[in-house]
């Protein structure tokens, strides 16, 4: 474990600007405003090799560059705080622990890309965090860190706090933008990407909370020092949210390069009641399920990619042998059926059919044909859906059908090894 | 703009940067299937039927919304692509009430056609039958949500083209439905009944309320004298339903058909269009001379009237009090015509054939009974006329052309052009100019007012007066001009508003498809009809003049007020 991004969390009064400055807060902003040109800031971020922490791992510096290169009278910076991925709660730690650090990151981003206006889109289920942010913004306005001519410089920047009504899809950047615009949260097709045409059609930078929290740190210690953390392909640290059948659940900041085994057994103290690990789901409900024999994988974007795994939001769900794969995927699929925005055909209809088929299998009424259908549906969703939600929704299904095929097949024969599914003649478990 | 080179199914295509894969493919005659795509609408990218494989890319791309990149290699016809399309199609089909044989769009359904083209032979997924209630709450439009495939075209036309917003996508995921907001029925919301949603619906989810059987019934009722009027836009579009090229004029064949099935008289709405010009022109001059409310707005288009009644009732004083030609026709048929030919008006049934769904609602407006009876009894759309022709099994192409009956079959070219945007204004100017100046108008074609453009204007010198006019079509453009009036920026005397894009030729009751390309052809045809008339100015219509002589006496006179003018309702609440 390390304390780089989260070093101030829990160490100060989150709304005390005095505390924050005492611990080095706003030093990076001052440095940027008075000693660096926007292009230098972008170069520094590019040099740091920081990749987006929201899930897609897009190089942050490059994204900034795209926005900065756009010619427009108006540009926006959006902080994506719609942390909706199940099992993910790391942004909340940062938002509650040190809101000024995230806002400082936004200010620097705004300066670098040429935006004067920022939005923090925070999920409706974080009412306390939202209140805190509203207060933090008010304080910063009073102290001259937000508004016109920040710290008497030429740079002006303002922030508004917005939130939706709790739709998962609003974590997807274009749906989030629609939501800020007052429309129902439904994704747009890309391109155009937000850096070219985003909020109200203007160039828009959308960064995750954790990504923005990295910014003041990188500028404070310098890209070279920052790169000392982590691996060559994945510099820095990652906040991971560990939940499930593990002794020490929680959010941990770890350096890239750590193995999953170290995370589960060294940091989190292994499984509860010494249960046997069945699989880990990485990156939330839209993430892959990898079996226990892949525990030596290192937390690293490139290494993960080799195995077709996305790190996603950095959630790790630990699942033990008492869990039935079919039941687990059924619940996961029900989540996506509930959360699909309904705009594109594959996602709107695919989730529905997946849930129906999995229910059938869990009730012992499934057939070999149903497994083929699941494969068909998940392929079509993954390859043809309009946005990331539909493309990623069947990931857990696809990977469990790959790694736990025999368990699905057992269900066709009326056997559930975890004893979860009740079969023909019994009381059905809905 | 720079060019990019791409390879589609191994064929080299060079296109402008920013061209979509779909458009690029069209250039080399590669026909990628689409469903939510509509040539006159924004790209939606939601049905995903048009997906293609792009080399080096894990996922498929929707070709309608993906711009080509230089060197891109695209494959539109691999097994994987075909299978994916079939799966997507099946997702749609399991939720679609596939009762094609009794569907209003049987034989003219994009989904049916696509299903055949994609060679759908089985449906692997569970059918989902919801049996949602069919909305027949109003006189014009029926919605069958069980047929809806959620392509979003109707929403776009309702919001972005008409600016009405009567329907929207509600809920999410598989619960997503297109509904009148949070209400159940269309009649619960501010719908103007323009029917533009019908024209863009790929399936039979929205259609006009059918009144064909009522017409067959009255035609067999020997106690009834059944007359029919045909609107200007019907004759230039009906042929499309029978394989004629868009823009074909089938006036004489329609008259022949209507006579063949037993109508007692076949009349022309162009006649009352001429009459409208006399009344409306006189009203305009009266307003100009007496300091009345200006600009004056036209009142022929019932969808437009409902729009201003719902959204700008404070401006209703600007609307001409003239009834539409359809309603003038009904009122005169049950008074003047009845008296002249000694027919008891209670036995007269007036049928209209209109390019319009809003006309159905206009006919049943409470105040439209100045003859003592409902002025117009039954309104059919162009499409319904087409269906009657098919049902009768009479072959349209075989019919010899027949002339309209007298007296209401006599019209001028000015009445004919009422069917296209700008036509009412042009017809009015032809008459008003001569009335004001007493001189003959040499150049009667006001080309600046013609064509499908959304906003047109002109200024005409008449003696020492400069008459400034504007023409808009599509309600979103009507809104622009209404806002201008509200802010005192509309420096016009007279403004023509037609509810539907392109005017009545693009009405909600017209043959489907009704794309801009087809509408342009229909407009061309309308002006060809104009040229075919010997008389092209409404005030020279001999029957109109006789009508004033024998019955109405004078424009804006007592009889006119009673029969040809109306009032409006504030529908804002």
- Flag whether A425 is in a domain: no
**How many distinct structural domains can be found in chain A?**
3
Q: Which candidate in B208, B279, B283, B434 is catalytic?
A: B283
Q: What is the C-alpha to C-alpha distance for residues B493 and B469, in angstroms, rounded to an integer?
A: 6
- Flag whether B106 is in a domain: yes
B403 is catalytic: no
Quick one: B531 exposed, middle or buried, by C-beta within 10 A (0-12, 13-18, 19+)? exposed
CA nearest neighbour of B347 among B263, B265, B262, B225: B225
Question: Do B164 and B228 share a domain, yes or no?
Answer: no
Cis check for the bond before A192: say yes or no (omega within 30 of 0).
yes
Question: Do A347 and A298 share a domain, yes or no?
Answer: no
Distance from CA of B111 to the nearest CA of A (A): 14
Which member of A338, A345, A376 has the closest CB to residue B47? A345
Question: Do A273 and A184 share a domain, yes or no?
Answer: no
Residue with structure tokens 């991971």?
A240
- Flag whether A60 is in a domain: yes
Flag if A349 and B174 touch (Cβ within 8 Å).
yes
- Flag whether A3 is in a domain: no
Quick one: A129 exposed, middle or buried, by C-beta within 10 A (0-12, 13-18, 19+)? buried
Question: Do A43 and A94 share a domain, yes or no?
Answer: yes
Is residue B571 within 8 Å of residue B313, measured between CB atoms?
yes
Which member of B45, B128, B173 has the closest CB to residue A351? B173
Flag if A384 and B175 touch (Cβ within 8 Å).
no
Of B21, B49, B77, the last residue of a domain is: B77
CA nearest neighbour of A255 among A310, A315, A299: A299
Which member of A343, A356, A384 has the closest CB to residue B88? A384
Q: What is the C-alpha to C-alpha distance for residues A117 and B3, in angstroms, rounded to an integer?
A: 36
Tokens of A221: 């210690």
Question: Do B447 and B395 share a domain, yes or no?
Answer: yes
- Flag whether A424 is in a domain: no
Quick one: A318 exposed, middle or buried, by C-beta within 10 A (0-12, 13-18, 19+)? buried
CATH number assigned to the domain comprising residue A365 = 1.20.1440.230
B240 is catalytic: no
Q: What is the C-alpha to C-alpha distance for residues B278 and B435, in angstroms, rounded to an integer?
A: 10
Q: What is the 3-state secondary structure (H, E, C) of B47-83?
A: CCCCEEEECCCCCCEECCCCECCCCCEEECCCHHHHH
Question: Do A343 and A304 share a domain, yes or no?
Answer: no
Interface pTM, i.e. ipTM: 0.93
Tens of pLDDT along chain B (573 residues)?
799 999 999 999 999 999 999 999 999 999 999 999 999 999 999 999 999 999 999 999 999 999 999 999 999 999 999 999 999 999 999 999 999 999 999 999 999 999 999 999 999 999 998 899 999 999 999 999 999 999 999 999 999 999 999 999 999 999 999 999 889 999 999 999 999 999 999 999 999 999 999 999 999 999 999 999 999 999 999 999 999 999 999 999 999 999 999 999 999 999 999 999 999 999 999 999 999 999 999 999 999 999 999 999 999 999 999 999 999 999 999 999 999 999 999 999 999 999 999 999 999 999 999 999 999 999 999 999 999 999 999 999 999 999 999 999 999 999 999 999 999 999 999 999 999 999 999 999 999 999 999 999 999 999 888 999 999 999 999 999 999 999 999 999 999 999 999 999 999 999 999 999 999 999 999 999 999 999 999 999 999 999 999 999 999 999 999 999 999 999 997
- Flag whether B87 is in a domain: no
Residues in chain B closer than 8 A to A346 (CB atoms):
48, 88, 91
Tokens of A275: 């249960």
Residues in chain B closer than 8 A to A356 (CB atoms):
126
Residues in chain A closer than 8 A to B37 (CB atoms):
none
Residue A366 contacts B where some CB pair is shorter than 8 Å:
no
Question: Do A75 and A184 share a domain, yes or no?
Answer: yes
CA atoms within 13 A on the CB side of B536: 21
Residue B132 contacts A where some CB pair is shorter than 8 Å:
no
Of A175, A205, A226, the last residue of a domain is: A226
Q: What is the pTM (predicted TM-score) of this model? A: 0.94
Of B158, B184, B208, the last residue of a domain is: B208
- Flag whether B351 is in a domain: yes
- Flag whether A365 is in a domain: yes
Residue with structure tokens 């790190």?
A311
- Flag whether A119 is in a domain: yes
What is the pLDDT at residue B1?
77
Q: What Cα–Cα distance (Å) separates residue B6 from each residue in A41, A189, B55, B523, B564?
A: 37, 21, 11, 38, 62
Which member of A340, A346, A356 has the closest CB to residue B126? A356
CATH number assigned to the domain comprising residue B45 = 3.10.20.740
Flag if B47 and A338 touch (Cβ within 8 Å).
no
Question: Do B452 and B550 share a domain, yes or no?
Answer: yes
Q: What is the C-alpha to C-alpha distance for residues B210 and B379, in angstroms, rounded to an integer?
A: 9
Q: What is the C-alpha to C-alpha distance for residues A182 and A160, in angstroms, rounded to an integer?
A: 14
Q: Phi first, then psi: what are they for B55, rounded to 5°? A: -60, 135
CA nearest neighbour of A234 among A301, A286, A149, A150: A301
Structural domain harbouring B29: 3-77
What is the pLDDT at residue A21?
97
Strands B265-268 and B206-208: unpaired
Question: Do B487 and B545 share a domain, yes or no?
Answer: yes
- DSSP classification of residue B403: P
Q: Which of residues 210-229 of A touch B (CB under 8 A)?
A: none
Question: Do A200 and A123 share a domain, yes or no?
Answer: yes
Question: Do B204 and B120 share a domain, yes or no?
Answer: yes
Residues in chain A closer than 8 A to B169 (CB atoms):
184, 186, 342-343
Structural domain harbouring A156: 17-226
Tokens of A254: 């770890």
Question: Do B217 and B298 share a domain, yes or no?
Answer: yes
Question: Do A139 and A274 share a domain, yes or no?
Answer: no
CA nearest neighbour of B562 among B277, B418, B372, B389: B372
Residue B129 contacts A where some CB pair is shorter than 8 Å:
no
What is the pLDDT at residue A165?
85
What is the pLDDT at residue A426?
43
Question: Do B465 and B553 share a domain, yes or no?
Answer: yes
Question: Do A81 and A187 share a domain, yes or no?
Answer: yes
Cis check for the bond before B479: say yes or no (omega within 30 of 0).
no
- Flag whether B570 is in a domain: no
Mutate to test the interface with A, among B79, B80, B91, B182 (most CBs of A within 10 A): B91
- Flag whether B295 is in a domain: yes
Q: What is the C-alpha to C-alpha distance for residues B369 and B327, in angstroms, rounded to an integer?
A: 9
Q: What is the C-alpha to C-alpha distance for residues A119 and A110, in angstroms, rounded to an integer?
A: 11
Flag if A341 and B92 touch (Cβ within 8 Å).
no
- Flag whether B242 is in a domain: yes
Distance from CA of B94 to the nearest CA of A (A): 9
CA nearest neighbour of B237 among B525, B547, B492, B569: B525
Question: Do A309 and A389 share a domain, yes or no?
Answer: no
- Flag whether A417 is in a domain: no
Residues in chain B closer than 8 A to A345 (CB atoms):
46-49, 88, 91-92, 150
Which member of A352, A377, A383 has the closest CB to residue B174? A352
Residue A56 contacts B where some CB pair is shorter than 8 Å:
no
Question: Do B18 and B72 share a domain, yes or no?
Answer: yes
CATH number assigned to the domain comprising residue B132 = 3.30.70.20
CATH number assigned to the domain comprising residue A243 = 3.10.20.600
Q: Which of residues 146-175 of A touch B (CB under 8 A)?
A: 167, 169
Q: Which candidate in B110, B208, B240, B280 is catalytic?
A: B280
Question: Do B272 and B255 share a domain, yes or no?
Answer: yes
What are the residues facing B297 on neighbouring strands?
B319, B495
CATH number assigned to the domain comprising residue B315 = 3.40.50.1780
Q: What is the C-alpha to C-alpha distance for residues A2 and B557, in angstroms, rounded to an integer?
A: 93
Question: Do A270 and A352 share a domain, yes or no?
Answer: no
Mutate to test the interface with A, among B34, B36, B125 (most CBs of A within 10 A): B125
Which member of B48, B150, B169 has the closest CB to residue A346? B48
Say if residue A427's pLDDT is above 60.
no
Of B177, B208, B239, the last residue of a domain is: B208
- Flag whether A93 is in a domain: yes
Q: Which residues contact B294 (CB under 8 A, 6 or more apart)?
A: B287, B288, B318, B492, B493, B494
Distance from CA of A36 to the nearest CA of B (A): 35
B391 is catalytic: no
Is residue B121 within 8 Å of residue B100, measured between CB atoms?
no
Helix, strand and coil content of chain B, in percent to the nearest 5, comes to 40, 15, 45
Helix, strand and coil content of chain A, in percent to the nearest 5, comes to 45, 15, 40
Which member of A342, A377, A379 has the closest CB to residue B174? A342
Residue A383 contacts B where some CB pair is shorter than 8 Å:
yes
What is the pLDDT at residue B129?
81
Residue A342 contacts B where some CB pair is shorter than 8 Å:
yes
Question: Do B457 and B438 share a domain, yes or no?
Answer: yes
B367 is catalytic: yes
Q: What Cα–Cα distance (Å) separates residue B197 from each residue in B185, B401, B448?
A: 15, 33, 29
Q: Which residues contact B413 (CB under 8 A, 6 or more apart)?
A: B529, B530, B531, B532, B533, B535, B536, B537
**How many distinct structural domains can be found in chain B?**
3
Q: What is the C-alpha to C-alpha distance for residues A374 and A395, in angstroms, rounded to an integer?
A: 12
Q: What Cα–Cα distance (Å) separates residue A321 from each residue in A315, A316, B252, B397, B413?
A: 20, 16, 81, 75, 84
Question: Do A353 and A291 share a domain, yes or no?
Answer: no
Residue of B nearest to A344 (CA): B46
Question: Do B64 and B100 share a domain, yes or no?
Answer: no
Tokens of B226: 């059944």
**How confident is residue A422, by pLDDT bands cut at 50, 70 and 90?**
confident
Mutate to test the interface with B, among A84, A309, A333, A344 (most CBs of B within 10 A): A344
What is the pLDDT at residue A424?
52
Residue of B nearest to A339 (CA): B173
What is the torsional sign of CA A127, A130, A132, A134? Answer: negative
Mutate to test the interface with B, among A341, A383, A390 (most CBs of B within 10 A): A383
B280 is catalytic: yes
Is residue B50 within 8 Å of residue B33, measured between CB atoms?
yes
Q: What is the C-alpha to C-alpha distance for residues B243 and B342, in angstroms, rounded to an integer?
A: 42
């Amino acid at each position: 474990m390390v304390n780089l991004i989260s070093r101030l969390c829990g160490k100060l009064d989150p709304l005390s600007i005095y505390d924050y400055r005492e611990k080095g807060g706003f030093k990076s902003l001052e440095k940027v405003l008075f000693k660096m040109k926007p292009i230098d800031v972008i170069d520094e971020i590019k040099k740091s090799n920081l990749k987006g922490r929201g899930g897609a791992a897009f190089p942050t510096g490059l994204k900034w560059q795209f926005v900065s290169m756009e010619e427009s009278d108006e540009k926006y910076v959006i902080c994506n705080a719609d942390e909706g991925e199940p099992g993910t709660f790391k942004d909340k730690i940062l938002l509650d622990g040190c809101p000024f650090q995230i806002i400082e990151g936004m200010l620097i981003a705004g300066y670098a890309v040429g935006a004067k206006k920022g939005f923090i889109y925070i999920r409706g289920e974080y009412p306390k965090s939202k209140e805190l942010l509203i207060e933090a913004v008010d304080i910063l306005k009073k102290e001259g860190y937000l508004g016109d001519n920040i710290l008497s410089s030429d740079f002006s920047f303002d922030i508004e706090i917005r939130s939706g009504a709790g739709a998962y899809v609003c974590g997807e950047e274009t749906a989030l933008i629609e939501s800020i615009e007052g429309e129902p949260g439904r994704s747009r097709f890309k391109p155009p990407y937000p850096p070219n045409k985003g909020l109200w059609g203007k160039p828009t930078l959308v960064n995750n909370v954790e990504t923005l929290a990295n910014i003041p740190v990188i500028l404070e210690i310098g890209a070279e020092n920052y790169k000392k953390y982590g691996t060559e392909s994945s510099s820095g640290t990652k906040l991971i949210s560990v939940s499930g059948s593990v002794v020490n659940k929680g959010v941990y900041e770890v350096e890239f390069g750590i193995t999953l085994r170290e995370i589960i057994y060294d940091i989190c103290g292994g499984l509860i009641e010494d249960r046997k690990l069945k699989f880990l789901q990485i990156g939330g409900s839209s993430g892959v399920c990898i079996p226990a024999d892949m525990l030596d994988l290192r937390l690293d974007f490139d290494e993960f990619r080799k195995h077709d795994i996305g790190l996603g939001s950095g959630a790790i769900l630990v699942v033990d042998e008492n869990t039935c794969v079919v039941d687990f995927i059924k619940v996961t699929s029900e989540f996506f059926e509930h959360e699909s925005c309904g705009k594109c055909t594959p996602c709107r209809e695919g989730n529905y059919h997946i849930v129906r088929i999995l229910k059938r299998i869990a009730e012992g009424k499934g057939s070999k044909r149903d497994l083929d259908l699941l494969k068909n549906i998940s392929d079509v969703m993954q390859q043809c859906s309009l946005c990331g939600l539909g493309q990623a929704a069947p990931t857990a299904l696809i990977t469990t059908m790959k790694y736990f095929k025999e368990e699905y097949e057992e269900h066709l024969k009326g056997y559930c090894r975890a004893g979860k599914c009740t079969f023909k003649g019994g009381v059905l478990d809905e | 703009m720079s060019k990019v080179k791409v390879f589609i199914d191994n064929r080299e295509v060079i296109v402008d940067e920013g061209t979509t894969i779909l458009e690029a493919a069209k250039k080399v005659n590669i026909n990628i299937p689409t469903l939510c795509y509509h040539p006159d609408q924004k790209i939606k990218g939601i049905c995903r039927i048009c997906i293609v494989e792009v080399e080096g890319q894990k996922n498929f791309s929707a070709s309608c919304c993906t711009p080509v990149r230089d060197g891109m290699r695209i494959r539109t016809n691999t097994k994987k692509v075909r299978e994916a399309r079939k799966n997507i199609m099946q997702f749609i089909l399991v939720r679609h009430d596939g009762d094609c044989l009794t569907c209003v769009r049987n034989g003219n359904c994009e989904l049916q056609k696509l299903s055949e083209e994609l060679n759908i032979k089985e449906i692997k997924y569970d059918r989902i039958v919801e049996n949602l209630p069919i909305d027949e709450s109003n006189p014009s439009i029926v919605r069958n949500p069980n047929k809806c495939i959620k392509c979003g075209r109707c929403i776009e036309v309702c919001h972005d083209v008409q600016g009405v917003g009567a329907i929207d996508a509600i809920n999410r995921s598989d619960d997503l439905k297109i509904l009148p907001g949070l209400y159940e029925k269309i009649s619960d919301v501010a719908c103007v009944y323009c029917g533009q949603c019908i024209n863009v619906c790929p399936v039979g989810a929205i259609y006009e309320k059918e009144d064909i059987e009522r017409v067959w019934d009255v035609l067999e009722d020997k106690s009834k004298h059944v007359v029919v009027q045909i609107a200007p836009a019907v004759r230039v579009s009906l042929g499309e339903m029978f394989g004629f090229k868009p823009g074909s004029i089938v006036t004489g064949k329609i008259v022949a058909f209507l006579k063949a099935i037993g109508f007692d008289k076949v009349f022309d709405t162009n006649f009352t269009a001429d009459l409208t010009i006399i009344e409306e022109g006189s009203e305009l001059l009266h307003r100009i001379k007496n300091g009345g409310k200006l600009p004056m707005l036209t009142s022929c288009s019932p969808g437009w009237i409902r729009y201003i009644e719902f959204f700008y009732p404070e401006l209703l004083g600007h609307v001409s009090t003239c009834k539409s030609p359809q309603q003038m026709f009904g009122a005169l048929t049950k008074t003047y015509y009845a008296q002249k030919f000694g027919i008891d008006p209670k036995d007269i049934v007036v049928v209209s054939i209109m390019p319009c769904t809003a006309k159905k609602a206009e006919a049943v407006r409470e105040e439209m009974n100045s003859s003592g009876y409902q002025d117009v009894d039954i309104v059919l759309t162009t499409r319904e006329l087409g269906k009657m022709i098919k049902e009768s099994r009479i072959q349209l192409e075989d019919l010899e052309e027949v002339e309209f009956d007298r007296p209401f079959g006599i019209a001028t070219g000015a009445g004919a052009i009422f069917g296209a945007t700008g036509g009412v204004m042009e017809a009015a100017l032809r008459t008003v100019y001569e009335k004001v100046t007493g001189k003959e108008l040499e150049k009667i074609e006001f080309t600046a007012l013609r064509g499908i453009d959304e906003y047109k204007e002109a200024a005409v010198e008449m003696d020492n007066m400069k008459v400034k006019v504007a023409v808009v079509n599509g309600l979103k453009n009507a809104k622009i001009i209404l806002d201008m009036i509200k802010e005192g920026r509309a420096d016009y005397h007279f403004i023509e508003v037609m509810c539907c894009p392109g005017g009545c030729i693009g009405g909600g009751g017209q043959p489907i498809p009704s794309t801009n390309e087809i509408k342009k052809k229909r407009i061309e045809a309308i002006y060809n009809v104009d040229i075919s008339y010997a008389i092209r100015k409404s005030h020279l219509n001999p029957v109109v003049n006789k009508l004033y002589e024998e019955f109405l006496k004078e424009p804006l006179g007592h009889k006119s007020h009673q029969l040809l003018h109306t009032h409006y309702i504030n529908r804002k609440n």
